[in-house]
Structure 1
Amino acid sequence: MTWISKTTTFFGLVLLAHACYSAQEHSALQSFRTTSAVNPSSPGTTAVSLPLDISLETLVATAIICFGLALGTPPLRPIQWRVWAGKIEREGEEGFMNADGEVSRDYVGNPFKMLETRPGFVDIRRQKKDFAEWVRSSGEKQEAQI
Structure 2
Amino acid sequence: MLVKIVKLNLTENINILQQLTNEEMILPFPELGNATIGEHMRHIIELLGSLLDNYDSGYINYDKRKRDIILQSDTKEAIKILEKYRSELDIPNKSLSLTHNCFSDKEMLETNYFRELLYNLEHSIHHQALIKVALYRLPHIKISDSFGIAPSTLEYRKQCAQ
Same-fold status (TM-score > 0.5):
no
Q: What TM-score does the superposition give when structure 2 sets the normalisation length? A: 0.28
Structure with the higher fraction of residues in strand conformation: 2
Give 1 or 2 for the bigger CA radius of gyration. Answer: 1
In the superposition, the TM-score normalised over structure 1's length comes to: 0.30
Larger fraction in helix: 1
